[in-house]
Chain A
Amino acid sequence: MTERESSDQLVLEAAEGISAEPITQWDLFVTRLRRHRLAMVAFFFMAFVTYVALMAPLFTCEKNVTFCGSGPIQMSFLTTLIMVVVAVGSGYLAYRSFKGQLRGAGTALAIVAVVSVLFLISSWGIIDLPHINHYADQLPDEDGRILVNIAPRSSLPMGTDDIGRDVLSRVIHGGRASLAVGIVVGALVALLGTVVGALAGYYPGVVDQSLMRFTDLVLGLPLLPVAIVVGRVLPELRILPGFLKQGAWGIAVLLGALIWGGLARIVRAEFLSLREKEFVEAARAAGANDRRIIFRHILPNAISPIIVQTTLVVGTAIIVEAALSFLGFGVRPPIPTWGGMSAAGAAIAPRGYWWELVFSAGALISTVLAINFMGDGLRDALDPTQTIERK
């Protein structure tokens, strides 16, 4: 991959049996991360959840090919295209990384960005999925009766809910809302928190004071009460474009706008201390302008708390979205979400129909758990001063 080695060097290496390949920070990071077993499991689990959520239209369709027997798969052209691109693209990337050809945080970020964008486009389906939302999925038995509250069995691995919809299909589709909220909130928080924190930390005085007072103000807002009000009025706000009113988008933007404050404080603190370091002075002496110092010199050194905090915020956002949907102020009922399904499942669970609650709650908990473990692993792996003690 690296072109700079001349053939002479390669010959030299071959002769001496050593590699001149430099060990970068990225390599160290990957090595440390690999050692964190739980975090690796969490990463693979999240990859699995994301893939399943992305490919939801494949697994569940009008007559539920995979789980219920008969009927054609019905997919839009767009969905098919996206699925093919994602499958081919991620397969290619997996191959490259397996061969050890992928290097550098930049490439990783590019992968994340590509997958996120594809995911965002494909989650467009959250807004309306008639076969999942509107009871077309009900399963009549031989006598033509609707099978409601069917316990899990081989043809219906998670049973059906109280109006006869397949719980497995809905759990798969419910993941799209949670993951969309997680990704949008993560992106918003990383962007807002970093920009505000960086500006406040780098420019002392008026900029710092005014930005931090604003941050304090946002942090002072009680999260859940405000989120409930906004969730309640969101579908009715006349000034909003349609896609923000329904589905998870409005909720995601709202949560992102409410919880970036913590990250901004952390980034500011990092910038305050890094600003005084010698390497910044050196960069300034070499004639670098402010933009270059902020983005090329200070920000890469402050990246680890940003990544860790963002990961944790994603977990929080997924929980808050689920809580909102549970209370009925998040994504509205016919659209499946894990929180909303937990609420519906909790209503029928006392009568012995435990499966909807258990499977939706289980999906929610394991996803948040995986994200938190990822955060834990990243925190350890991103800390270059850490001596490796744990196995």
Chain B
Amino acid sequence: MFAYIIRRLVYGIVTLFALSLVVFVLIQFSGGSPLDRLKLNPRMQPVIAQLTEQWGLDKPWYQQYFIWLKNFVTPVAVQPQEGLMVLGRIGIRSWVAFAAFFGVIAYSIGAFFVKIETNWWRTYRAFSILVVAFIAFWIIKSRIVFSLNWGESFRGDGAVWDNVFGAAGNTFRLGLTALAIALIIGIPLGVYQAIKQYSFFDQLGTTLSFITFSTPIFIIGVMLQLILAYQLERWLGMKVFYVVGMTSSGYESLGRGLLGLPSLAQLGDIVQHLTLPAVSIAAISLAGYSRFQRASMLEVMHSDYLRTAKAKGLPRRTIIVKHALRNAMIPIVTLVSLDIASMIGGAIITESIFGWPGVGRLYIGAINAVDYPTIMAVVLAIGTGVVIMNIVADILYGVLDPRVRYD
């Protein structure tokens, strides 16, 4: 198992290396240069010369690549920041509170479905590990001040490391909300469809998920904007959902809640901004989850051990929840871990439609300006996410299903 993980990690690093090389070469061989805009102005000649030397743009591409690679993996010391810094604009304490809040909700939902697990700590443990890892990461990031030398943005908006991680927080806010929506609706939907196979509701659900699955995410986003934002505003005479940004411009003046949490008005503002982009990302995953859950549930429902359970005279609810659902969830877990990685890809489109200041929008802006330190950083951050989530998916599969062996 350990050797397996190590081997997968090595492959992952090779993949990332190849990825960086491909992207770097592509950028280098395109005609564009980050200084193109300056060249329009003849008086900028000395500045161009200086920047060309400073950024090493006059060297051959392979030298530039190795310089970049060396810097990319070099840690740098940064001045310690004041206190614990923020993720997005919300303090770390509120993230802890959020995590606890959602944890309680998730636990209650889980307890409702499973209803057998008396040892709450066991149910809670996996979740607690995630929360602890999350907090530890942000403390390390902001307190012990660890940073890699990812260079300065060519667009003059500061250190790439800070930009990418600032944007990553915003993308996570969007992506995790979308994931929660997709899971909370999609899985019960799939289970219900499987239980009532070939009923009207099942047919409807299958058709709807087929249509959603075939719809590009940008059309969903744009349609949501048109119907739920512009048209609803026209009908009601007031703004219900916003189409651009994470918060309104007057967000700070909406009061301050306890413990660094946003106040009620601020929370409402966040929800008004978050709903549409999160739903548009969630819609496609939701369709996928419900279809997948339906299929895997059906497969389990026809298995021998369920017939045994039925023959023993167990109540239907126990059979479905305790016997069937647990096994039918195994493929879903893998799917979700892979989906988290691809959600970042979907977020590129959604963020550019909804003006969400996340990784995707940072990426599009960097691409347009041939800002290659940022491009490389974002591509590698996403690539690392994909590699790690692939490994996590495989490991989880083996942990949950003892029949799977690693070789």
Write the residues of chain A forming the contact surface with B, with a CB cutoff of 8 angstroms. 213, 216-217, 220-226, 228-230, 232-233, 236-239, 315, 319, 322-323, 326-327, 329, 339, 342-343, 346, 349-350, 354, 357, 361, 364-365, 368-369, 371-373, 376
Q: Contact at A232–B30, with CB atoms within 8 Å?
A: yes
Instruction: Check if B352 sits within 8 Å of A216, measured CB to CB.
Output: no
Q: Decide if A369 touches B211 in the complex (CB within 8 Å).
A: yes
Question: Chain B contacts of A322 at CB under 8 A?
Answer: 216, 218
When A225-B379, A226-B19 are in contact, do A233 and B27 touch as well, CB less than 8 Å? yes
Contact A217 B15, beta carbon cutoff 8 Å? yes
Between A and B, 27 residue pairs with Cβ closer than 8 Å are A216-B15, A220-B387, A221-B18, A222-B345, A222-B379, A224-B348, A225-B348, A225-B378, A228-B367, A229-B23, A229-B27, A232-B30, A233-B27, A233-B30, A239-B29, A319-B216, A322-B218, A323-B216, A326-B218, A346-B218, A346-B222, A357-B222, A361-B223, A364-B216, A364-B219, A372-B214, A376-B210
B382 at the interface (CB under 8 A from A): yes
**A319 vs B284: C-alpha distance when bound (angstroms):** 13
Docked pose: A233 CA to B218 CA in angstroms? 22
Whether the pair B32, A365 counts as a contact (CB closer than 8 A) is no
Closest to A371 in B: B214
Are B22 and A226 within 8 A (Cβ)?
A: yes
Identify 15 new A-B residue pairs, CB closer than 8 A, beyond the known A237-B29, A239-B29, A346-B222.
Answer: A217-B15, A223-B345, A224-B345, A224-B346, A224-B348, A225-B348, A228-B364, A229-B367, A233-B27, A233-B30, A238-B31, A327-B349, A361-B223, A365-B215, A372-B214
Q: Which residues of A contact B14 (CB under 8 A)?
A: 217
- Flag if A229 contacts B210 (CB, 8 Å): no
A350 to B27, CA, bound (A): 36
Secondary structure type dominating chain B contacts: helix
Q: Are A229 and B26 in contact (CB under 8 A)?
A: yes
CA distance A239 to B30 in the complex (A): 10
> Are B341 and A222 touching (Cβ within 8 A)?
yes
By Cβ-Cβ distance, the 3 closest A-B pairs, closest first, are A233-B30, A236-B31, A220-B15
Residue with the greatest number of chain B CB neighbours at <10 A, chosen from A217, A229, A232, A238: A229
Cβ of B15 and Cβ of A327 under 8 Å apart?
no
Among residues of B, the one whose C-beta sits closest to the C-beta of A221 is B19
Q: Is the interface of A mostly helix, strand, loop or mixed?
A: helix
Q: Which of A238, A326, A346, A357 contacts B29 (CB 8 A)?
A: A238
Give CA–CA (A177, B175) in the complex, Å. Answer: 31
Residues of chain A lying within 8 A (CB to CB) of residue B26: 229-230, 233, 237
User: Is the Cβ of A236 less than 8 Å from the Cβ of B345?
Assistant: no
Q: Would you call B213 an interface residue if the criterion is a C-beta within 8 Å of the partner chain's C-beta atoms?
A: yes
How many angstroms between the C-alpha atoms of A225 and B11 in the bound complex? Answer: 20
Complex formed: what's the CA distance from A217 to B10 in Å?
11
Contact A339 B345 (CB under 8 A): no
Give residues 354-403 of B contacting A (CB, 8 Å): 363-364, 367-368, 375, 378-379, 382-383, 386-387, 390
